[in-house]
Structure 1
């Protein structure tokens, strides 16, 4: 099967974990290059969005370098807009052209198909891993082995992700 030129993979990556990584590596089997869009890029220091776009870019970059796939990927932060009818145009205005969109999100699938794009389901051997679980494990001081790439684990320690998540939680309790 010949590879399509370039794919698009949208996520918030709060934080980037092995579910994302495994899905990305599987999608890269179908394309020569991948555009990784960091959605909600303006959101940070919030319960569901604790990390900045720059931090998420670093996490993804470290994991891609660790798996030797960095050269095949673009990492593009895109802020949200609340008007879904314009969302795909917003994504396209920030990104190089692409041939296929990879997603498991029904709304993302619907929006890109309505805009005339081919959409393919992401396949991951780690579907049970999600960012909420990772954030909870960080807060509880539990091991992250087997749920995030080692380079991302080291990065989260470096930026003291546990302290940040605790501060966000304390702030929410006060409000």
Structure 2
């Protein structure tokens, strides 16, 4: 069996920290499943982008980073309201995997309870590379967010008018 890893994230938006985790994981596994979590969520301040948009961002970011998509699966995963069974649900929705790549304490705990080994990647400038921070910069009109995401992802967000969407959503909250 291929030694395959699972990396779950919301990617709202994909940033260089995510890319570094993906690169780190691919040094340790043969293939990597990138699970787009909360796939049903979009058009909120916390989750402004659709699952399809996030899949495109991941593909664009991989290309910008020179990471081959040949060893990567990108799978959207809907939320369920039962944390304890969530790992089993994920197993049903993605190809088989041997190990989980995670720093999120809940994700780590849930998959360890189901017997999975969890590889914890380094933080990779977590204070700078945070999707929450990037969305806050977008809301403030601070274009420095563009340096925190791959160039193709910034262009994609421009094409879909993602910053305008985020600001419009925030103004109605």
TM-score bin, normalised by smaller chain: over 0.9
Q: How many residues align?
A: 169
Following superposition of structure 1 onto structure 2, how do residues 98-109 of structure 1 map, counting pairs within 5 Å?
98-109=97-108
2:78 is the counterpart of 1:79 = yes
By how many angstroms is 1:124 displaced? 4.2
Partner of 1:44: 42
By how many angstroms is 1:86 displaced? 1.2
Partner of 1:144: 145
CA contact (8 A) 1:138 1:144 kept: yes
CA contact (8 A) 2:19 2:65 kept: no
By how many angstroms is 1:111 displaced? 0.5
Structure 1: gaps spanning 5 or more residues: none
Please report the TM-score for the alignment, with normalisation by the length of structure 2.
0.93
Structure 2: gaps spanning 5 or more residues: none
Pick from 20, 23, 35: which aligns with 1:22? 20
- Once residues 35 and 150 of structure 2 are traced to their aligned partners in structure 1, the CA distance between those partners, rounded to angstroms, is 19
